[in-house]
A and B are shown apart, each in its own frame.
Chain A
Amino acid sequence: MKDLGAPALMGISKVGKKSRPIKPDPHFGPPLKCTKRLKEIMTRHYMLSRYAEGAKPVAWVTSGAPVEVLRPFGIYTVYPENHGALCGAKKMGPELCAVAEEHGYHQDLCSYARIDLGHYFSGKTPAGKLPKPDLLFASNNICQTVAYWYKALSHYLKIPLILFDTPYNFREITDSDISYMVRQFEEMIPVLEQVSGRQFNYRKLQEYVRIGKDASLTWGEVLATMKSRPAPMTIFDAFGHMVPIVSLRGLPLALEYYRTLLSELRERVSHGVGAIKRERKRLMWDNIAIWYKMRDHSSLFAGQGMNFVTATYTNAWAETTPYMDENRPFESMARAYSLVILNNNLNSRLELMERLIKEYQVDGLVIHSARSCKPYSVGQYDLKRLLMERLEVPSVIIEADITDSRAYSEEQTRTRLEAFFEAMEG
């Protein structure tokens, strides 16, 4: 459930630049019209960020943090994980990671963190410029890594860090867990008031929770269109179109965007327009994308007539949304944010994957074992085995990394994928 959105952002830097037209891949259906709108929104958002520094308080936020609570304070939010994905897609991962390594960060550490620290030390970024933060806001509902990483930032930048601590759900969530998280919300209000110079407005928070929920629900409906055969988009599209739900969550813009996207997708479904021309097999993706290989993989699978129709990853921003309730904003956010896939036990993950496989009529599963992301990856070998036992779904594991391409072996991956394609046909 980490952040992304790189492909869309890759587009941004191309705006205004005359690039050679890329020859359209004959395996794909017509491109989504909404992509243009997404680019506009994200360009605007990133343009604004250049003026935010000094004008508005800026927070660097982890992808799983309950950002709604920052919104009433007018805090401008930046997502380093999103930036990491962008650097990955731009193939700048190794370069920025190496900078962090020069400062003593071991190459075994999460590459989003290394990219971010590398950016901190060197100022290098493909995104123009990231506004310097006044506040760090992290939640360990996606990993403990973000806590270590943001702690380092807090030490270097000498700015406050708010950690939203979400007890891991080894079993069912308890009342005590919920009250702990609700109390943390109450404790962070005075800090946020101080950083922003604004008084907390409860009614505004309710409003943001409501909009955030509506946007997430709409995002869920967007994903659900891929239940159709052929699916109107691929998960590689979704990896890009999820940027607003991650980094503009709670803002009306995100909701408006997903409504537009949803109607386009429904239109495609009603006309039987698929993302790829010949959808022979339907696949599920597990874990964060391999950002530097997105384009290659997208063509490779399309060429095989295989389409990714669902992913545990994109689903993470829709899965727990129904818990959100503007009438009990803190309590409901505690539940929604604590029960996300990576903070929930592996049994519930297995059940979730079984459900997705059935609902989306999945024929095969590609599991990205991401060196950077232990909470997402530890347990995948057993998941693979259990899903085969229970549903006889063939699957393949790719050992790779989200952005550090130095940990990726083209040859090894190719061999594994080819074997998988053969198994799918057999």
Chain B
Amino acid sequence: MHHSRLVFIFFSFFAGAVSAEEVQVAVAANFAAPMQAIATAFEKDTGHKARLAFGSSGKFYAQIKNGAPFQVLLSADAETPARLEQEGMTVAGTRFTYAIGALVLWSASEDMVDGRGDVLRKGGYAHLAIANPKLAPYGAAAVEVLKQLGLLDAVRPKLVQGENIAQTWQFAASGNAELGFVARSQVTRGGKLSHGSAWIVPANLHPPIRQDAVVLANGRGNAAAGALMAYLKSEQAKAVIRAYGYGI
């Protein structure tokens, strides 16, 4: 290899990091799949680059408070962005609801869940996976649904908790939990149920899962951050978001 070519490669490593408009995005675990699709389209359409990190809102909150380099937060809830805003950690006036989450009762086996969720009452399962209700809005919503159905005490011994909705899905997808309350987005591909069987929980059984986005203080003046927020509001992005089973 030529000497000059090595030098070129060496410098392009650094050039790449500096010259391209780039935004670091903290993304709620439940929104991972749609956001990857949106980020790809965003990069193609605008030339900006979105670097995605997936995790729980609680962890992101702690990291952001302690200087994490995120510029945009796509939270799984409305509280975390609001709280960061109150604490002066965001760019004022940028907070908005990018998606409204839907909860499904899901099983990896085809004939487990009926269209009305009666399986919850009937039994025939050893474990019901939910996200930790203290940490994850989908977990809190699942507990609310069980309360509304008057089943919470009956199923409590069967509950297993994932630390976030991604792990909850993993418990159910591996079959270790026969049933799980997961995000509709996790089991939806191209507007349809990807596999297994599911009951889409009626929205009136739990408070709406409003998922808010906000530009963080770190993202002030970052063109890519502003462009991404605008892109999330575009019809194009909304179509993707809806195709994954969210309301918006």
A binds B: no
